[in-house]
Amino acid sequence: MPNTNGPLVVALLYDGLCTFEFGIVAEVFGLARPEMGESWYRFASCAIEEGPLRANGGFLLTPDHGIGLIDEGDIIVVPGWKGVDEPVPQTLVQRLRHAHDRGARLASICSGAFVLAATGLLDGGTATTHWRYADALRSQYPKLAVDHASLYRSHGRVFTSAGSAAGIDLLIEIVRQDFGADAANSVARRLVMPAHRTGGQAQFLERPVPTRRGSEVAPLLDKMRAELGGVWTLERMASECHMSLRTFIRRFTQATGSPPGEWLVSERFEEAKQLLIGRHHSIEEIAAAVGMSSADTLRHHFRKRTGISPKEYQTQFGRPTPARS
C-alpha cells in the first residue's frame, strides 16, 4: 500500500474480472500522488473467492489479500460483475453489509450494481448501471428504482455508475467529495478527462434504429429526415401519406413507436448532435437547419435530454478543429 494514511480503498477481484473497470479504480486510487499529501488514499485489492482467478484479456491474477480485507476498507469498489444472471455469493453480501454498517462507502462500476443491489442496501433508493443492463436490474431487484440514463447515482453511502467510462466520473466525484474540486481536477487532468461531469448527465446513448412495421409511413420518414428544417404539421404529414389525421397518427405510432411530434423532435435533436460534433456551424445555424425555432429552443431540448448545453456537448464530443497552416 502507498505510504499514506488516508481512506483505504479496496477493489474486489473475482474470476472473470472486468479488467478495464478494475484498472479505473487502480488508476484513480492506486497511483502514488505525493502532491496530494499524506492523507491521500491507500489502495489494495482482494479476492472474493478461491483461485485460480482469470481476468478478461487472458491472464491469471495473484491476489495479495483475501476477502477479509473488506472488513478494513473505508471505500469498497465492485469493478463490474461476471454477468447479470450470475449469483452473488452470500459471504460477499454479508461482508458488504457489515462494511456499510460500520460506516464504509460502497461503489460499483457498470454491472457491479447487481452486487450492491443483492445486499438490499439500495432498496427504496435509485441506482444506475449500463443502459443495456437496466431492464435486468429492474426485473431482479424491484425494490429499487433504476435510472437507465444517468452517469452515476448515490443512495446514502452506496454509489452506482453506468458504463465503464462513467465509473471514472463517479470515482472523480468521490475524490471531489473527499479532497475538494482542485484535487478532483488534478486527477482528471492526469487521466486527460473532463474536470467534472455531474451524475445527472445522460449516458449519450446512440439513437436506436426504428423498426418499420409497415410501408405506409416509410417514405414520409425518409422525406422528413431529408427536410428536418421544414415545417411539418400533423396535417401535412397525414396528407403526404394520403390518410386521415386520426388514421395517420395511429399508424405512425405503430410503425415508429413514437407519436409524430415526438419522433420529429428526436430526429431534429440527433441531427443537431451530429452538426455540433462537426464544429462547422454556430448554434443559431444548427437550430435553423434542424427546424428548431431558435437557439434557445435547441438549448432547452439539449438540457432536457442530456443535462448539458449544446456548447458543452460540442466541447466534449466535437471533432478537433484542424490546425491552420
Across 34-38, 95-99, 259-263, which has the greatest mean pLDDT?
Answer: 95-99
Integer Cα distance of 135 and 243 in angstroms? 36
pLDDT at residue 139 greater than cutoff 60? yes
| Residue ranges of the chain that CATH labels 3.40.50.880 | 8-190
Instruction: Just give the CATH number of 218-317.
Output: 1.10.10.60
pLDDT of residue 308: 80
Widest CA span in the chain: 75
pLDDT of residue 319: 55
Distances (CA, A) of 233 to 74, 97, 219, 230, 249: 58, 56, 16, 10, 12
- The torsion of the CA quartet 187, 191, 192, 197, rounded to 10 degrees, works out to -60
DSSP strand pairing (158-161 vs 152-155): antiparallel
| Residue ranges of the chain that CATH labels 1.10.10.60 | 218-317
Residue-wise pLDDT tens digits, 53-73: 999 998 999 999 999 999 999
109: nearest Cα among 188, 239, 17: 17
pTM given for the model: 0.64
- The torsion of the CA quartet 126, 129, 133, 139, rounded to 10 degrees, works out to -20
Class of domain 8-190: alpha beta
Provide φ and ψ at 170, rounded to 5°: -65, -45
Residue-wise pLDDT tens digits, 204-222: 544 444 444 445 788 888 8
- pLDDT bin (cut points 50, 70, 90) of residue 2 is low
69: nearest Cα among 40, 98, 41: 98
13: nearest Cα among 89, 77, 100: 77
Integer Cα distance of 240 and 165 in angstroms? 44
What is the percentage of the chain residues whose pLDDT exceeds 70? 89
